[in-house]
């Protein structure tokens, strides 16, 4: 038997009688990308992977601070015809709508302040900061989906023993898979998709 919850004005409710959120009960064929915009009570930063809604666990300080560092740095280096976006979903297919941690998108792919998702053809770079609860998705499934959608660049950020590590990948169009182009410890300096030079050790000083 459930324990009643007391509302501020004294009325009691029983959790057994509370409605079940629609996102807890998947349809027979799985959720679609459009469902993320219309399901009520859907928690923030929910993403869709293979028709299943994936919820984000609590962020570590490393994850949060690395997002701040990457976003600030990329805003300094990004060309005028590109934009930086943080934690915005990309609609890759009917049942695939992941949310990279940081993105670089062509300016023509932005459609105003009410936009809720990006199209993959406009995404130049997707970045994932690996979390313990999502490491399998961040290392395997999500980059696989980004590559299949034709996103040309992917960075994976890890909390290594000696500090931040960024694994950089570029899309091989012949295999539709990413190939490694470098591993950067503590400092990220690359020339594609544009010149970037980031001191990753800043994470220890924030």
What pLDDT is stored for residue 27 in this prediction? 87
What pLDDT is stored for residue 23 in this prediction? 78
| Run means of pLDDT, 10 residues per run, the chain, 206 residues | 46 57 83 93 93 91 96 98 98 98 98 96 98 93 98 97 95 96 96 97 91
Alpha-carbon torsion angle 178, 117, 66, 69, nearest 10: 110
What pLDDT is stored for residue 147 in this prediction? 98
Q: Which tokens is 128 given? A: 């994932």
Domain definitions of the chain by residue range: 5-54, 61-204
- 13's enclosing H/E stretch is strand 12-13
What pLDDT is stored for residue 12 in this prediction? 47
How many contiguous H segments (helices) and E segments (strands) does the chain have?
A: 4, 14
What pLDDT is stored for residue 4 in this prediction? 43
The CATH number of 61-204 is 3.90.1570.10
């Amino acid at each position: 038997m459930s324990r009643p919850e007391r509302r501020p004005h004294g009325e009691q409710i029983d959790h057994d009688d509370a409605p079940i959120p629609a996102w807890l009960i998947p349809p027979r064929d799985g959720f679609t990308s459009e469902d993320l915009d219309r399901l009520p009570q859907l928690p923030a930063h929910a993403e869709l992977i293979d028709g299943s809604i994936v919820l984000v666990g609590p962020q570590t300080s490393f994850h949060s601070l690395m997002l701040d560092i990457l976003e600030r740095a990329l805003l300094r280096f990004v060309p005028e015809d590109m934009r930086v976006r943080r934690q915005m979903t990309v609609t890759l297919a009917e049942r695939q709508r992941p949310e990279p941690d940081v993105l670089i998108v062509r300016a023509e792919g932005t459609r105003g302040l009410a936009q809720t998702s990006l199209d993959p053809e406009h995404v130049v770079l997707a970045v994932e900061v690996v979390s313990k609860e999502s490491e399998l998705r961040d290392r395997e499934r999500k980059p696989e989906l980004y590559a299949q959608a034709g996103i040309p660049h992917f960075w994976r950020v890890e909390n290594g023993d000696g500090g931040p590590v960024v694994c950089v990948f570029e899309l091989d169009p012949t295999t539709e898979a990413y190939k490694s182009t470098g591993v950067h410890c503590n400092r990220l300096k690359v020339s594609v998709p544009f010149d970037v030079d980031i001191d990753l050790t800043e994470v220890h000083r924030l």
